[in-house]
Structure formats: C-alpha cells, structure tokens
Structure 1
Amino acid sequence: MVIDVAQRRRRPAARQFWDSTIGKKIVMAVTGAALLGFVFAHMVGNLKTFLGAADLNAYSHWLRTIGEPVLHYEWFLWIMRAGLIVAVVLHITATVQLVRRDHRARPVRYAHPAARSGRPSPCTRCAGAGRPWRCSSSGTSST
C-alpha cells in the first residue's frame, strides 16, 4: 500500500517532541528543576521566620504584590500555583510513560547474580532513588 505524501498528516512539533523519549526526559528535567527551584525559594522564604515577625510579614506582603501594577494583588501567586500543578502533572506523567516504555522494550529482566548488599541498599530504593513500587518490606531488594 502506497501512502501519498499529501494524504499523510504531519503531527504538530509539540506532539512529536512529547512522543519521543528524549522529549519526555527533557520535560522531566525542566519540570524537576522548576520544582526544585520552588522548594529552594520556599525554604528561603520560611527562613525569614528567624528574622522576626516584621520581616516575615514584609516578605508575605511582597509575595502578594509581585508584578503590580501589571498583575493584580495575589495574581502572581495563583499563576505560580497553576504552574506548579502543571509541572507536577507533567513530571509524573512523563515518568510513568517512560517506565512503561522501558518495560515494553525489555519485558524480560537481565539475568545477573543477586548482589549481596547491606541494609542501606533497599532503603535507598524505597526512599525514592529508583523504583519505590518494587521494594519489598522484608529488607531485600527485588532486583
């Protein structure tokens, strides 16, 4: 069957980017950096507590008036909240899709002897470095 070039629809560039493995990894990197930046900025803001109530109140007022007069009162905070929600959703979606793609690419696990490890190895996997849904509660790693 020959498909005419004119009949074939070209996907939008954003869709091609999202469908590629590299695109998903770039999305994960950018959203991860944005989330890390938020955590760092939030930590710095919370450290204002140690400077006293007046400094903390001034900081909270400043947060609500960022962008004025272009943005109305608290608009910047709502834009940031929406951006953070989008970043979290994109980050988790890209992660799940990449893991599923990985499992489809190689459904059979690599054959290697079980590594002897101490207590920190399974704890590291369960703490978030790796695939936490594969941890076993017995203290041994399932890989």
Structure 2
Amino acid sequence: GGGKSGVRVVGGDEVVLLGEEELEEIQKVNTEVWEADRAKVESTRGVLEEERSRCSRDVTAQGEKIKALTQEAEGRAEEMEKVREEYRRKKIEEKKDAEERAQRERERLQAERKEAEEARAKQEKELAKGSKKKK
C-alpha cells in the first residue's frame, strides 16, 4: 500500500513522512542528478584522456624530432670529419708532390751543372790540345 505522507513530531524534531510516490519521485530526481554528474565525470575523464594522449603523442613526436636532429647533427659531424680528413690528406699529398718536384728540380740542376762542368772540362782539354798543337 501507498504509505501516507505527513509531518510528525518525534522527540521535538519535525520528521517528514513521505508516501511511496513521493519517495519514488525523489529517488528518480536523485538518480537523474547522479546520472548527469556521472556523465559529466565521464566526459571530463574523456577530455582528460584525450589531452593526456595528445600530450603523449606530442612528447613522442618531440622525441622523434630530437632523435632525427641528433642523427642529422651526428651525420654532419661525420661529414665534417671526412672533409677535414680529406683536406689533411690533400695537404699531405700536395706537400709530398712539392717535395718530389723540388727533389727532381735539384737533381735536374745537379745533372745540368755536371754536364756543364764536363763540357767545360772537355773544352779546356780541347783548348789545351789545340794550344799544344800550335806550339
């Protein structure tokens, strides 16, 4: 049966007695409020999850970008080292070539000097022979 609603005084306090329909109505309203709150919490949780996942993706993307930049920098450093090595090698080669050229030039000059000296000596001999013949 549907209980009667009314006001009774119990130990000096007013106590409201509610009927079944009123109780059901209050329960219904409470449930609706609770459902709305739960929906709000769920949607907030969804927003937070989305935000967290976005941040996580951003962090991952930043990490990838940093890794790529680091690799690029390392690559550039290797390139620079290769260029430096190539430059050093070329300089060493050029120095060696210059030294070889200088050595060949010295040898050529020595050979020319020797030839000139031999020619002069030969000439002197010829002249000496010639002057002997004249006498």
Which protein is richer in helix relative to its size? 2
Which protein is richer in strand relative to its size? 2
Q: TM-score, normalised by structure 1?
A: 0.28
Question: Which structure's CA Rg is the greater one?
Answer: 2
Structure with bigger RCO (C-alpha 8 Å, 6+ apart): 1
